[in-house]
Amino acid sequence: MAKEPKPKPAEPPFLNRELSWIDFNFRVLEQAEDPALPPLERLKFAAITASNADEFFMVRVGGLKLLQRQGEDRPDPAGLAPAAQLAEIAARMHELVERQHACLQKEIEPALRKGGIRRLRMEELAAPQRRHVDALFADSIFPVITPVAVEPGGEFPLLAGLGLALYVRLEGTPEDSAPRHALVAVPKILPRFLALPGETGFPYVLLEEAIRAHVGLLFPGVAVQECAAFRITRNADMGVREDQAGDLLEQMREVLVERKESDCVRLEIEKRASKEAQAFLRAALDVAAADVYAVPGPLDLAAFFRLANLAGTEALKIEPWTPQAAPEAPPAESAFAVLQRDNLLLFHPYESYDFVLRWLQEAADDPNVLAIKQVLYRVSDNSPVVAALMRAAERGKHVTALVELKARFDEARNIDWADALARAGAQVIYGVKGYKTHAKVCVVVRREPEGVVRYVHYGTGNYNEKSARLYSDVSFLTSQADYGADASAFFNALTGYSQLAKFRKLEAAPLGIRPRLLDLIGNEAERSRQGEEAGIEAKLNSLADPELIEALCKASQAGVRIRLNVRGICCLRPGVKGLSENVSVVSVVDRYLEHARIVRFRNGGAPLTFISSADWMPRNLDRRIELLVPVEDPAGADKLAQILETCLADTRQAWTLRSDGTWERRQPDAKRPALRAQEEFQRRAEMRAAEAVQRQAPAFEPQRPAEQKKQA
């Protein structure tokens, strides 16, 4: 009697976090591969995928390698132990590199050449161009670079993570015929793209190619047998030991030094490099074969983002969308007057971030403003936000700035800003022990005829005017007393010894957000069982928290329709019969980075709507200080509901997550008409701004015949 086949094991309910992130980066790469986009826009997306990968290796791969070295073999919720995750990551990332460079060299660069942006190799240069590079090398490059000899088995020079370098193999000596080895670090202070004369457009040669062409001058009298470009990525998954005594600022400076000396987690080397070069560098850096990426093109593709912003190349770029002034906040009106009239909810970058800056700058100069308190997580290089805080402090206002020193990869900038603010007279807090402060909140305390009023900004994005033009985020500004009281209580808890107490409106992580979300999800499940209206719509960057995922699955089993717009990581496996069949997940990837966090619960027909600084991940809910902010006024709640519905209905730039963990590009059909969410948001903002201008314009009255005759 034939044996019955064994039942196929069920798919695990969770998807792996790291592989889900890689899937997101492939979705970004598809933008670079889209022939309908102009070439500089495609180049931008290719550069973004490379920049994303750099951070992924430094943090996520670095962390997994630490776990593997410690002998950790416990599987993640998706059932993969660290070693298995690293193997899967390597396979997918090698594929990503091949696709990046195939797209760059076969599609993007040929289109750029037609538009006048040409990357030339040294052997392609005309004689005047070669003379130009020779002179440039002699005058500006040769005095800066320094060759360093490397003995096999000896101490390896300390190279900067993500910095370019050249490996040089030299002939041996008469006494010892074995080849000798040297390194030449490519200085970051020199421009990567060397402009060439004699042609229209922007012909250029890469800095490392110019150094390679002249490398023999660094070793006079010695034959160069090989010169190969390479780049290392160091583990950056490290932080301060906050369980130990010591000054946080000093400990953070020590972490920055430690990162410069950490282990190599990835070796990128140009594909034409010899096996000998690879073997030498692998041994010197202690890198496994799977962590060597033979790159079939220029290294450090992230640097090409600079070309995407090249001036005078508008024909090769997408048509810009101009952020619009919100009709509720006329530019000529005081920001305080606007917020005295009503709450204000802005959707950036479609609606301009200028109002937030104007409010802060007005607060700095207003003699009636008594205090400003603000959390700074990531700000720009020449931040007008910090400049306003410094000016306010210098004018005698009580300024408190919580500058989060542990904001990864912005630590050095934040240390500098903290020092500058302190010198200006602000009270500076360096974060909260044991947590990252990721909340986006600013409160302005103002003396008014009826008493002291608190004006508050709560947001989903950082106080960074540059990213506010590139990221899709929400700002909620109000002068309502409950929100102001909560903001004051929040800052008092951060700067003093009090706990994050029960607020009037807000919830704060690490204590309150997860329980509140679990309660709201459970409420929808119970309402569905009772036959009431139930549903959940959420817009997030990432969904990875096991407890929330399990709660969503239980709500799905209770009949709750759950529609999620998750930009990047999604560990929930949707559409699985009996588990998550009422859950759908869509991801929108378009010209702006989707960054807003919005969630809406149907609540039996009386919807509850929130914005938040937090994604639904263990790190946000357990190890960060975050805020969940209810938006209760009908206009703001309706606007957020429209944002959710539009993103969920996108059929042009959206992807649907299938139950097997793969992503499928959406296409318009009879049931779902063509809709591009970001384009629709821009259209709405422009239409509202135009209507506001039209309402303010004086009515046109045609002249009567007698008046016309009199004027004549």
Active-site residue list: 438
502-518 burial code (b ≥16 CB/10 A, e <16): ebebbbbbbbbbbebbe
Name the 3-class secondary structure at 9. Answer: coil
State both tokens at 653: 């730039």
Among left, alpha and beta (phi > 0; psi -120 to 50; other), residue 506 is beta
Task: Identify the sign of the CA torsion 702, 703, 704, 709.
Answer: negative
- Measured CA to CA, the distance from residue 51 to residue 513 in angstroms comes to 31
- Measured CA to CA, the distance from residue 496 to residue 258 in angstroms comes to 31
CB atoms within 10 A of CB 236: 24
* Cβ contact 189:181 at 8 Å: no
With DSSP H G I counted as helix, E B as strand and the rest as coil, what are the percentages for the chain, rounded to 5? 40, 20, 40
Q: State how beta strands 598-601 and 583-588 pair.
A: unpaired
Residue 515 CB contacts under 8 Å (≥ 6 apart), including other chains: none
Long-range Cβ pairs for the range 280-285 (8 Å, 24+): 280/152, 280/167, 280/169, 280/181, 281/167, 281/230, 283/152, 284/150, 284/156, 285/156, 285/232
The DSSP result for 615-661, as a single string, is -BSHHHHHSEEEEEEE--SHHHHHHHHHHHHHHHH--SSEEEE-TTS
H or E segment at 11? none
Residue 106 CB contacts under 8 Å (≥ 6 apart), including other chains: none
* Cβ contact 48:305 at 8 Å: yes
Q: 């629709």: which residue's tokens?
A: 680
Closest CA to 204 of 140, 112, 306, 120: 120
Tell me the C-alpha to C-alpha distance, in Å, between residue 347 and each of 352, 471, 479, 642, 681: 8, 10, 19, 11, 9
State both tokens at 293: 């990426």
- Measured CA to CA, the distance from residue 322 to residue 349 in angstroms comes to 8
